[in-house]
Amino acid sequence: MPEGPEIRRAADRVARAIAGRPATRVRFAFPELKRFERRLSGKRVDAVDTRGKAMLIRFEGGLSIYSHSQLYGRWYVRPAGQLPRTGRTLRLAIHNPDRSALLYSASEIDVLRPAEIETHPFLSRLGPDALDRELTDSALEARLADARFARRQLAALLLDQGFVAGIGNYLRSEILFVAGIHPARRPRDLSDDERHALARAIRRVSRRSYRSAGITNDLERARELRARGLSRSAYRHHVFGRAGERCWSCGGVIESSTRGGRRLFVCPSCQPAAQA
């Protein structure tokens, strides 16, 4: 599933293609949304925003298109009227005279009025966006101390979009590694320094992934490994997807486990379980 950084980068591409210009045609695949095609066609796209893993395309007049890509949704931007060669199913198309923004395979699309955005079943439950420029370390430390979250294991808490929006499976493993914290620990058991390190890692790792198109490893190290001929999949992450390989930092062997049906990766030397 695309995580917050991937959705934000997709939103950037869509915004460059259609924001600030009238949409000459808007087309929905879902019959219940067909009634909005005429209402949105001809309207200017005012902005393209994200909230965690969701995207909002805002039109003049107040209506917004909400989408969540889930596991398989993918945005394409193409010259006007040109469709990509793909076996995916087109769900939403927004055209202007020069460009087309096309959403394939997504199953969660809606058109919302301003008041409906704040009461939407998914959007209304979201915590702060990990990529929000206004989000601070101190705000995240306060959430870690909040009674709603403080007793939960971090392995589960970091995937809870009500805690922080936009973190998914690879970011979870990478954030905990950078913070040096074992996933079985709970916020209430962390020292002040550890809570600060975790809050800082949530922001820094998420933003690094956004800026670098998915790289969470140290960027200088990633450049060096790439120069040595390693593939992107080999140098992209600190620990995620690297079970049985050596930790770039300490040389220990990275381990993996399954938590809640999803893979989690840990360096036992850098994230000692004895602290749990």
213-248 tens-digit pLDDT: 999 999 999 999 999 999 999 999 999 999 999 999
Indicate whether 275 pLDDT > 60: no
Taking only the tens place, the pLDDT of each residue in 125-135 is: 999 999 999 99
pLDDT value for 259: 82
Catalytic site residue 259?
Answer: no
Catalytic site residue 113?
Answer: no
Q: CATH fold of 137-275, please?
A: Helicase, Ruva Protein; domain 3 (1.10.8)
Share of the chain above pLDDT 70, in %: 99
H/E element, 110: strand 108-112
Q: Distance (Å, rounded) from C-alpha 95 to C-alpha 93?
A: 6
User: How buried is 181 (Cβ within 10 angstroms: 0-12 exposed, 13-18 middle, 19+ buried)?
Assistant: buried
12 Cβ partners below 8 Å, 6+ apart? 48
Confidence of residue 274 (pLDDT cuts 50, 70, 90): low
Query: Active site residue: 2, 5, 128, 187, which one?
Result: 2
Q: What is the pTM of this model?
A: 0.94
Catalytic site residue 187?
Answer: no
Confidence of residue 271 (pLDDT cuts 50, 70, 90): very high
Indicate whether 92 pLDDT > 90: yes
Query: Active site residue: 9, 51, 53, 203, which one?
Result: 53
Q: Which residue has the higher pLDDT, 274 or 38?
A: 38
Taking only the tens place, the pLDDT of each residue in 13-23 is: 999 999 999 99
Catalytic site residue 245?
Answer: no
The domain covering 4-125 belongs, at the CATH homologous superfamily level, to MutM-like, N-terminal (3.20.190.10)
Locate the domains of the chain by residue range.
4-125, 137-275
Query: Active site residue: 25, 43, 88, 262, which one?
Result: 262
